[in-house]
């Protein structure tokens, strides 16, 4: 399951459960259509805390989506997740797609204020680790 929401800061992308090839193809097509109307730069909150580890095929779609986001004006991305398996997968994807330097990872286990921490990065460029120290 996926959901795309327009927000003041840009977009919130939510993925949960197990995503298959057909669903990822629909997501890529939908995000491409949405971004074709995007007038300028934006940030993305990607909530994958309820996503199961993704297959190789789904990873290809995520990578293509990340490349598209970058091409269309992505300035920062916060990935909210739970667990090291997804963290490793999405860090590798970010390196491969070229957005690693724009992306930060917020594990809900270590950051109960994950939304506030994520929005700090997206809207004010506050590094998640620095944000936690300020609390």
Domain ranges of the chain: 2-134
If residue 74 lies in a helix (H) or strand (E), which one and from where to where? strand 74-81
Residue with tokens 């934006």: 42
- Where does 1-135 have alpha helices with state H? 21-35, 56-72, 84-97, 114-124, 128-134
- 52 pLDDT band (50/70/90 cuts)? very high
Top-level class of domain 2-134: alpha beta
The two three-digit tokens of residue 99, written as one number: 């957005």
* Predicted local distance difference test score (pLDDT) of residue 133: 52
Q: What percentage of residues in the chain have a pLDDT greater than 70?
A: 96
Averaged pLDDT, 103-116: 90
- 83 pLDDT band (50/70/90 cuts)? confident
Averaged pLDDT, 38-45: 95
Averaged pLDDT, 48-63: 94
Instruction: Enter the pTM of the model.
Output: 0.91
| Contact present, 78 and 42 (Cβ < 8 Å) | no
How are beta strands 10-17 and 2-7 bridged, if at all? antiparallel
Averaged pLDDT, 53-79: 95
- 93 pLDDT band (50/70/90 cuts)? very high
Q: Tell me how long the chain is.
A: 135
* Distance separating alpha carbons of residues 67 and 121, to the nearest angstrom: 20
Average pLDDT over all residues of the chain: 92
């Amino acid at each position: 399951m996926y959901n795309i929401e327009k927000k003041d800061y840009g977009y919130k992308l939510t993925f949960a459960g197990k995503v298959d090839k057909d669903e990822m193809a629909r997501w890529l097509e939908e995000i491409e259509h949405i971004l074709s109307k995007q007038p300028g730069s934006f940030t993305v909150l990607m909530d994958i805390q309820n996503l199961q580890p993704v297959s190789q095929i789904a990873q290809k779609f995520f990578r293509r989506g990340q490349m598209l986001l970058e091409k269309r004006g992505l300035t920062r991305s916060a990935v909210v997740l739970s667990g090291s398996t997804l963290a490793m997968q999405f860090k590798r994807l970010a390196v491969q797609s070229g957005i690693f330097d724009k992306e930060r990872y917020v594990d809900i286990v270590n950051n109960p204020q994950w939304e506030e921490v994520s929005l700090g990065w997206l809207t004010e460029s506050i590094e998640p680790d620095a944000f936690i120290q300020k609390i």
